[in-house]
Structure 1
């Protein structure tokens, strides 16, 4: 196996313009949402992970409309500076983290230990926030557009296993149903 530095790059997202349009139609991705914060809390509680997010992604950034951190990890305003200081904030660059990979792949991603994968171990969130494990699934709406992701992360390696994969996929489907219900209301 040869080392290819290009494999470390965030994948090109051809769907981003359509996603941004769809997020605008739904009124999502620009501000915190108490329902999504509660959903992130539920994600954290079910998985036992200290961080959980409902993440909407545009061409340049990720926006955590739903965010839950354990009380010891909570920070005030959720600014990008806080994210760089070791606590996830509400906004993150598109080249940070693993959700952009999930959005482009349109498939769940399970990383028990990100350091086991050269493509993911070099991501800035490893050094800046201390992320060591990730579990995420895409939010694909009724139009076929991938709106974003739900995910949980931990600062310790975690064996998510098949149960974790099935759980995150089921919860993603549940949240997509809630988003569709909002659209009908």
Structure 2
């Protein structure tokens, strides 16, 4: 990920597929519209991630589409105290392109497993570490099943370090398969 010395932020990788992705997201109606089905899949991912980690609460989970302006969480699960409220409090469904780890996953085109983001100098400086205390990340790319275009990611993040392991990788890949099946249905 390129680094901007002026702002002190990691910048997203050059995104040559943005025009095709944006056009497809608009065509599918997923550019900036929340989806109950994706919310349910994010909640299931959070629940399964909590079970995998042997914890009682569900961490954050998202179905994230990368647009030309921002990341958009069409599916979002957050701790109950941070549920988006009508008055603007809570976690937003929109995040800057340079924040979080999903832009890195889109650029790589493959899964990213960070058991401890602070153990990786490249990732510990990301804005979400300070904003919401993210310490672990597990994410993979979501493709459009019709065109093969990378549309975004599915991810699960936590405020504690987690050893995701092979079980975590299987968990995120299974979630991506369910998300892609939903995209297939939407695109019919």
Q: Which residue of 1 aligns with 2:163?
A: 159
Find the aligned partners of 2:86 and 2:13 in 1 and give their Cα distance. 29
Normalising by structure 2, report the TM-score: 0.86
Normalising by structure 1, report the TM-score: 0.88
Residue of 120, 141, 149 corresponding to 1:145: 149
Runs of 5+ unmatched residues, structure 2: 51-57
Q: Which residue of 2 aligns with 1:33?
A: 35
Q: Which residue of 1 aligns with 2:105?
A: 102
Find the aligned partners of 1:115 and 1:53 in 2 and give their Cα distance. 21
Runs of 5+ unmatched residues, structure 1: none
Residue of 30, 36, 55 corresponding to 2:64: 55
Task: Calculate the aligned-residue CA RMSD, in Å.
Answer: 1.9
1:118-175 Cα offsets, whole Å, 9 max, x none, are: 1111110011111111111111123110011111110111100111011101210121
1:81-131 Cα offsets, whole Å, 9 max, x none, are: x5xxxx531010000000011111110110001011111111100111111
Q: Which residue of 2 aligns with 1:71?
A: 80
Change (3 A) 1:67 1:78: farther
Structure 1 ranges of 4+ moved more than 6 A: none
1:64–1:91 contact (8 Å) kept in structure 2: yes
Find the aligned partners of 1:37 and 1:27 in 2 and give their Cα distance. 15
